[in-house]
Amino acid sequence: MPWLIALDIDGTLLDYDGSLSPVVRDAVIAAEQAGHQVVLASGRDMTAMQPIVAQLGLTNGWMVCSNGCVIVRLDPHFGAGYWIEQVSTFDAEPLIKEIAEHLPTARFAVEDVGRGYRVSQAFNEGELAGDYQVVPFDQLAGGGLVTRVVIRGGDETPEEFSQAIAELGMTGVGYFVGYNAWMDLVPSGVSKASGLEHVREKINIPLERTIAIGDGHNDIDMLQWAGRGIAMGQADLEVRLAADEVTEPVSRDGVAHAIRPILPTH
């Protein structure tokens, strides 16, 4: 019976310089060829995930994008090679305004699924994938429901940024604060875990046959969801405690070590 193997990208599949180890690539390809279902699950949007799909040669399967907000099915029979299976949305406008009052120098980006972002001001090079358009602040949310909002700290230190977010006491949404002054706002109840559960039900794999591997705080939900949650060796203590086991760090091909036991031995 196949396994569902959920893989975070940055710090898990890719090292911090953005490189994909040949050892890890070969292990992931071997897992797919053995009949296991490889699912990329990332905070990246779908545009930024597609180059990784290409590097791995994945043509069939699933992507859980934008921390669970967008679920994509890969299939070469679709004209673009994929189908957007599900998009979760919420009314972000009131909260964007409230956060801007507490963090006046922060930059905001609202995801435009499959295309890029509407932003309050330009982000640093490489921080956002796809095209982006600078728009007046009151047009960020487009007057309707949105998928995900990215908030990038301005003059605040990461500690000051996290403290300001904690003081907001946000309700009715989900949010993930990164290691730096960066936060994703998502619809309430949405996470990598919720996206992976949607995929698991679609492909009818038992929960006990699921593996999730990650290194970040936005991976905690999926590590706790999986039958086998595996933290990367360099992950901090909170992430490692959420997992069932810990593999080698990304610099030592941790993903390959983690999935090797379910690969063919010949």
Average pLDDT, the chain: 91
Rounded to two decimals, the pTM is 0.92
The Cα–Cα gap between 5 and 10 comes to: 16
Give the containing element (helix H, strand E) for 138: none
Identify each DSSP E strand in the chain by its residue range.
4-7, 37-41, 61-65, 70-74, 82-87, 107-112, 116-119, 131-134, 149-152, 173-177, 182-187, 210-214, 228-231, 245-246
- The label of the residue with tokens 């990329």 reads 40
The Cα–Cα gap between 86 and 111 comes to: 15
Residue ranges of the alpha helices (H) in 150-253?
Answer: 158-168, 192-203, 220-225, 237-242
For residue 266, what pLDDT is reported? Answer: 57
Whether pLDDT at 190 is above 80: yes
- Residue 94 near residue 143 (C-beta atoms within 8 A): no
Q: If pLDDT is split at 50, 70 and 90, which confidence band does 209 have?
A: very high
Check residues 205 and 103 and name the one with the higher pLDDT: 205
- Residue 206 near residue 220 (C-beta atoms within 8 A): no
Check residues 11 and 162 and name the one with the higher pLDDT: 11
Q: What is the DSSP letter of 20?
A: B
pLDDT, tens only, 34-55? 999 999 999 999 999 999 999 9
Which domains can be identified in the chain, with CATH numbers? Answer: 4-87+190-262 (3.40.50.1000), 93-187 (3.30.1240.10)
Backbone phi, psi, residue 112, to 5°: -110, 100
For residue 129, what pLDDT is reported? Answer: 77
- Residue 72 near residue 63 (C-beta atoms within 8 A): yes
pLDDT, tens only, 230-266? 999 999 999 999 999 999 999 999 999 999 999 987 5
pLDDT, tens only, 100-145? 988 888 999 999 898 889 999 998 887 887 788 999 998 998 778 8
β-pairing, 82-87 with 131-134?
unpaired
Q: If pLDDT is split at 50, 70 and 90, which confidence band does 179 have?
A: low
pLDDT, tens only, 67-85? 999 999 999 888 788 999 9
